[in-house]
Amino acid sequence: MKNRTKLPVLYLGLVLALMYVPILVVILYSFNESKISSVWGGFSLQWYARLFRDRAMFEALRNTLVLGGASCAAAGVVGTLGAFGMTKVRLRGQGAVEYLSALPMMVPEIILGMVFMAFFSLIGLPFGMGTLVLAHTAFCIPYVFMLVKARLVGMDPSLAEAAQDLGAPPVRVFFDVTLPLTAPAIASGMLLAFAMSIDDVIISVFVTGVDVNTLPIKIYTQLKTGVTPEVNALCTLMFLATLAVCLLAAFLARERKAKE
Protein backbone atom coordinates (compact mmCIF):
# COMPACT_ATOMS: atom_id res chain seq x y z
CA MET A 1 0.00 0.00 0.00
CA LYS A 2 1.38 3.38 -1.01
CA ASN A 3 2.11 5.98 1.63
CA ARG A 4 -0.14 8.98 1.20
CA THR A 5 1.33 12.36 2.00
CA LYS A 6 -0.60 14.78 4.20
CA LEU A 7 0.71 17.83 2.39
CA PRO A 8 -2.48 18.38 0.32
CA VAL A 9 -4.60 18.26 3.48
CA LEU A 10 -2.27 20.65 5.29
CA TYR A 11 -2.24 22.99 2.30
CA LEU A 12 -6.03 22.96 2.10
CA GLY A 13 -6.29 23.61 5.83
CA LEU A 14 -3.87 26.54 5.57
CA VAL A 15 -5.83 28.08 2.69
CA LEU A 16 -9.15 27.71 4.52
CA ALA A 17 -7.62 29.20 7.67
CA LEU A 18 -6.32 32.23 5.78
CA MET A 19 -9.75 32.70 4.23
CA TYR A 20 -12.07 32.20 7.18
CA VAL A 21 -10.11 32.95 10.36
CA PRO A 22 -10.19 36.75 9.69
CA ILE A 23 -13.95 36.51 9.13
CA LEU A 24 -14.38 34.63 12.40
CA VAL A 25 -12.30 37.24 14.20
CA VAL A 26 -14.50 40.04 12.82
CA ILE A 27 -17.63 38.17 13.95
CA LEU A 28 -16.15 37.53 17.39
CA TYR A 29 -15.13 41.15 17.97
CA SER A 30 -18.53 42.42 16.85
CA PHE A 31 -19.67 41.21 20.29
CA ASN A 32 -16.79 42.97 22.05
CA GLU A 33 -17.81 45.38 24.78
CA SER A 34 -14.61 47.39 24.40
CA LYS A 35 -14.42 50.13 21.82
CA ILE A 36 -10.87 49.08 20.94
CA SER A 37 -11.11 46.14 18.57
CA SER A 38 -7.78 44.67 19.64
CA VAL A 39 -8.79 44.46 23.33
CA TRP A 40 -11.44 42.01 24.50
CA GLY A 41 -13.65 43.65 27.12
CA GLY A 42 -16.40 41.07 27.47
CA PHE A 43 -19.52 39.97 25.60
CA SER A 44 -21.95 42.71 24.59
CA LEU A 45 -24.62 43.49 21.98
CA GLN A 46 -24.24 47.25 22.30
CA TRP A 47 -22.63 47.66 18.88
CA TYR A 48 -25.55 45.96 17.15
CA ALA A 49 -27.94 48.27 18.99
CA ARG A 50 -25.85 51.30 18.05
CA LEU A 51 -25.67 50.08 14.45
CA PHE A 52 -29.46 49.96 14.09
CA ARG A 53 -29.63 53.54 15.38
CA ASP A 54 -27.01 54.78 12.93
CA ARG A 55 -29.00 56.28 10.05
CA ALA A 56 -25.89 57.44 8.20
CA MET A 57 -24.50 53.91 8.07
CA PHE A 58 -27.74 52.44 6.72
CA GLU A 59 -28.06 55.26 4.22
CA ALA A 60 -24.55 54.43 2.96
CA LEU A 61 -25.53 50.75 2.80
CA ARG A 62 -28.69 51.61 0.87
CA ASN A 63 -26.70 53.73 -1.60
CA THR A 64 -24.24 50.88 -2.05
CA LEU A 65 -26.96 48.33 -2.77
CA VAL A 66 -28.78 50.68 -5.16
CA LEU A 67 -25.51 51.45 -6.94
CA GLY A 68 -24.57 47.79 -7.19
CA GLY A 69 -28.00 46.75 -8.44
CA ALA A 70 -28.24 49.50 -11.05
CA SER A 71 -24.71 49.06 -12.35
CA CYS A 72 -24.85 45.27 -12.58
CA ALA A 73 -28.26 45.40 -14.31
CA ALA A 74 -26.99 47.91 -16.88
CA ALA A 75 -23.76 45.97 -17.33
CA GLY A 76 -25.79 42.78 -17.80
CA VAL A 77 -27.81 44.28 -20.65
CA VAL A 78 -24.89 45.99 -22.41
CA GLY A 79 -22.46 43.11 -21.89
CA THR A 80 -24.93 40.48 -23.10
CA LEU A 81 -25.90 42.41 -26.22
CA GLY A 82 -22.24 43.19 -26.92
CA ALA A 83 -21.20 39.55 -26.60
CA PHE A 84 -24.10 38.43 -28.79
CA GLY A 85 -23.22 41.01 -31.44
CA MET A 86 -19.52 40.06 -31.45
CA THR A 87 -20.38 36.42 -32.14
CA LYS A 88 -22.62 37.37 -35.07
CA VAL A 89 -20.34 39.74 -36.98
CA ARG A 90 -16.91 39.30 -38.49
CA LEU A 91 -14.73 42.40 -38.34
CA ARG A 92 -11.21 42.87 -39.61
CA GLY A 93 -10.11 44.19 -36.23
CA GLN A 94 -12.37 41.99 -34.15
CA GLY A 95 -9.52 40.80 -31.95
CA ALA A 96 -8.54 44.38 -31.15
CA VAL A 97 -12.16 45.26 -30.35
CA GLU A 98 -12.44 42.33 -27.96
CA TYR A 99 -9.17 43.32 -26.31
CA LEU A 100 -10.38 46.90 -25.86
CA SER A 101 -13.64 45.59 -24.39
CA ALA A 102 -11.71 43.79 -21.64
CA LEU A 103 -9.27 46.67 -21.07
CA PRO A 104 -11.12 48.17 -18.04
CA MET A 105 -10.42 44.94 -16.16
CA MET A 106 -6.65 45.43 -16.58
CA VAL A 107 -6.31 49.19 -16.14
CA PRO A 108 -5.51 50.22 -12.52
CA GLU A 109 -8.55 51.61 -10.74
CA ILE A 110 -6.84 54.86 -9.80
CA ILE A 111 -6.31 55.61 -13.50
CA LEU A 112 -9.93 54.77 -14.29
CA GLY A 113 -11.08 56.98 -11.44
CA MET A 114 -9.07 59.96 -12.68
CA VAL A 115 -10.26 59.40 -16.25
CA PHE A 116 -13.91 59.25 -15.20
CA MET A 117 -13.52 62.36 -13.04
CA ALA A 118 -11.91 64.32 -15.88
CA PHE A 119 -14.52 63.16 -18.41
CA PHE A 120 -17.52 63.95 -16.21
CA SER A 121 -16.04 67.35 -15.39
CA LEU A 122 -15.43 68.03 -19.09
CA ILE A 123 -19.03 67.36 -20.08
CA GLY A 124 -20.36 69.20 -17.03
CA LEU A 125 -22.13 66.22 -15.46
CA PRO A 126 -22.85 66.81 -11.75
CA PHE A 127 -21.17 64.30 -9.47
CA GLY A 128 -23.48 62.04 -7.53
CA MET A 129 -25.36 58.78 -7.92
CA GLY A 130 -25.59 59.26 -11.70
CA THR A 131 -21.83 59.47 -12.18
CA LEU A 132 -21.33 56.56 -9.79
CA VAL A 133 -23.70 54.36 -11.80
CA LEU A 134 -22.07 55.33 -15.11
CA ALA A 135 -18.56 54.69 -13.82
CA HIS A 136 -19.42 51.39 -12.16
CA THR A 137 -21.33 50.21 -15.21
CA ALA A 138 -18.34 50.97 -17.42
CA PHE A 139 -15.90 48.84 -15.43
CA CYS A 140 -18.48 46.08 -14.78
CA ILE A 141 -19.40 45.49 -18.44
CA PRO A 142 -16.24 43.44 -19.25
CA TYR A 143 -17.07 40.86 -16.58
CA VAL A 144 -20.46 40.13 -18.14
CA PHE A 145 -19.10 40.41 -21.69
CA MET A 146 -16.31 37.85 -21.18
CA LEU A 147 -18.49 35.23 -19.48
CA VAL A 148 -21.39 35.53 -21.92
CA LYS A 149 -19.10 35.49 -24.96
CA ALA A 150 -17.40 32.33 -23.71
CA ARG A 151 -20.81 30.69 -23.31
CA LEU A 152 -21.94 31.76 -26.77
CA VAL A 153 -18.77 30.48 -28.39
CA GLY A 154 -19.23 27.07 -26.76
CA MET A 155 -22.93 26.84 -27.60
CA ASP A 156 -24.09 24.53 -30.38
CA PRO A 157 -25.13 26.80 -33.31
CA SER A 158 -27.44 24.12 -34.66
CA LEU A 159 -29.99 24.92 -31.94
CA ALA A 160 -30.55 28.46 -33.21
CA GLU A 161 -30.42 27.26 -36.81
CA ALA A 162 -33.10 24.66 -36.10
CA ALA A 163 -35.37 27.34 -34.65
CA GLN A 164 -34.83 29.51 -37.72
CA ASP A 165 -35.60 26.55 -40.00
CA LEU A 166 -38.92 26.18 -38.17
CA GLY A 167 -39.81 29.76 -39.08
CA ALA A 168 -38.82 31.62 -35.92
CA PRO A 169 -37.62 35.19 -36.55
CA PRO A 170 -34.21 36.26 -35.15
CA VAL A 171 -35.77 38.08 -32.19
CA ARG A 172 -37.79 35.00 -31.26
CA VAL A 173 -34.70 32.81 -31.58
CA PHE A 174 -32.77 35.12 -29.27
CA PHE A 175 -35.40 35.19 -26.52
CA ASP A 176 -36.53 31.55 -26.76
CA VAL A 177 -33.25 29.77 -27.50
CA THR A 178 -30.12 31.88 -27.03
CA LEU A 179 -31.11 33.82 -23.93
CA PRO A 180 -32.21 30.80 -21.82
CA LEU A 181 -29.02 28.92 -22.72
CA THR A 182 -26.82 31.87 -21.77
CA ALA A 183 -28.80 32.77 -18.64
CA PRO A 184 -26.35 31.05 -16.22
CA ALA A 185 -23.42 32.96 -17.74
CA ILE A 186 -25.37 36.22 -17.59
CA ALA A 187 -26.28 35.62 -13.96
CA SER A 188 -22.68 34.75 -13.08
CA GLY A 189 -21.39 37.89 -14.79
CA MET A 190 -23.95 40.10 -13.09
CA LEU A 191 -23.20 38.63 -9.66
CA LEU A 192 -19.49 39.19 -10.23
CA ALA A 193 -20.21 42.74 -11.39
CA PHE A 194 -22.36 43.34 -8.29
CA ALA A 195 -19.57 42.10 -6.03
CA MET A 196 -17.02 44.33 -7.75
CA SER A 197 -19.34 47.34 -7.52
CA ILE A 198 -20.18 47.13 -3.82
CA ASP A 199 -16.49 46.51 -3.02
CA ASP A 200 -15.11 49.49 -4.97
CA VAL A 201 -13.52 52.40 -3.13
CA ILE A 202 -10.97 54.03 -5.44
CA ILE A 203 -13.19 54.83 -8.43
CA SER A 204 -16.09 55.83 -6.17
CA VAL A 205 -13.93 58.38 -4.35
CA PHE A 206 -13.19 60.16 -7.64
CA VAL A 207 -16.74 60.28 -9.03
CA THR A 208 -19.02 60.58 -6.00
CA GLY A 209 -20.69 63.78 -4.89
CA VAL A 210 -20.78 65.50 -1.52
CA ASP A 211 -24.35 64.33 -0.89
CA VAL A 212 -23.82 60.65 -1.83
CA ASN A 213 -21.86 58.32 0.42
CA THR A 214 -21.34 54.61 -0.16
CA LEU A 215 -20.49 52.07 2.49
CA PRO A 216 -16.88 51.42 1.38
CA ILE A 217 -16.17 55.17 1.28
CA LYS A 218 -17.74 55.69 4.72
CA ILE A 219 -15.68 52.90 6.27
CA TYR A 220 -12.56 54.19 4.53
CA THR A 221 -13.06 57.71 5.86
CA GLN A 222 -13.66 56.35 9.37
CA LEU A 223 -10.14 54.89 9.37
CA LYS A 224 -8.84 58.38 10.17
CA THR A 225 -10.68 58.45 13.50
CA GLY A 226 -10.68 54.72 14.20
CA VAL A 227 -13.11 51.97 13.23
CA THR A 228 -15.42 50.93 16.06
CA PRO A 229 -16.88 47.41 16.48
CA GLU A 230 -20.03 48.86 14.93
CA VAL A 231 -18.43 48.17 11.56
CA ASN A 232 -17.68 44.62 12.68
CA ALA A 233 -21.37 44.20 13.51
CA LEU A 234 -22.36 45.44 10.05
CA CYS A 235 -19.84 43.10 8.40
CA THR A 236 -21.23 40.20 10.42
CA LEU A 237 -24.79 40.91 9.30
CA MET A 238 -23.70 41.25 5.67
CA PHE A 239 -21.75 37.97 5.90
CA LEU A 240 -24.75 36.16 7.36
CA ALA A 241 -27.01 37.59 4.63
CA THR A 242 -24.55 36.43 1.94
CA LEU A 243 -24.32 32.99 3.55
CA ALA A 244 -28.11 32.72 3.61
CA VAL A 245 -28.35 33.61 -0.09
CA CYS A 246 -25.70 31.02 -0.97
CA LEU A 247 -27.45 28.32 1.05
CA LEU A 248 -30.78 29.20 -0.57
CA ALA A 249 -29.22 29.01 -4.04
CA ALA A 250 -27.66 25.63 -3.26
CA PHE A 251 -30.98 24.36 -1.92
CA LEU A 252 -32.89 25.51 -5.00
CA ALA A 253 -30.27 23.97 -7.30
CA ARG A 254 -30.51 20.66 -5.48
CA GLU A 255 -34.31 20.70 -5.65
CA ARG A 256 -34.23 21.42 -9.38
CA LYS A 257 -31.71 18.65 -9.94
CA ALA A 258 -33.87 16.23 -7.96
CA LYS A 259 -36.93 17.06 -10.12
CA GLU A 260 -34.94 16.40 -13.27
What is the pLDDT at residue 134? 93
Q: Side chain identity at 45, as an amino acid letter? A: L
What's the pLDDT score for residue 136?
93
Question: Rounded distance, CA 89 to CA 252, Å?
Answer: 37
β-partners of residue 43 are 32
Q: Dihedral sign, CA of 6, 10, 13, 15?
A: negative
Dihedral (CA of 209, 214, 219, 222) sign: positive
Residue 107: its pLDDT value, please? 85
Low-confidence ranges of the chain (pLDDT < 50): 1
Query: ∠41-46-52 over CA atoms, to 5°?
Result: 150
Q: pLDDT tens digit string along 51-98?
A: 888 888 889 889 999 999 999 999 999 999 888 888 877 767 677 777
Question: Looking at residue 95, what is its pLDDT?
Answer: 73
Q: Tell me what pLDDT residue 1 has.
A: 47
Q: Are the C-beta atoms of 199 and 216 separated by less than 8 Å? A: yes
Region at 226 (left for phi over 0; alpha for psi -120 to 50; beta for the rest):
left
Question: What is the per-residue pLDDT for 159?
Answer: 78
Residue 176: DSSP 8-state:
I
Q: What is residue 72's predicted lDDT score, i.e. its pLDDT?
A: 92
C-alpha span between 48 and 54 (Å, rounded): 10
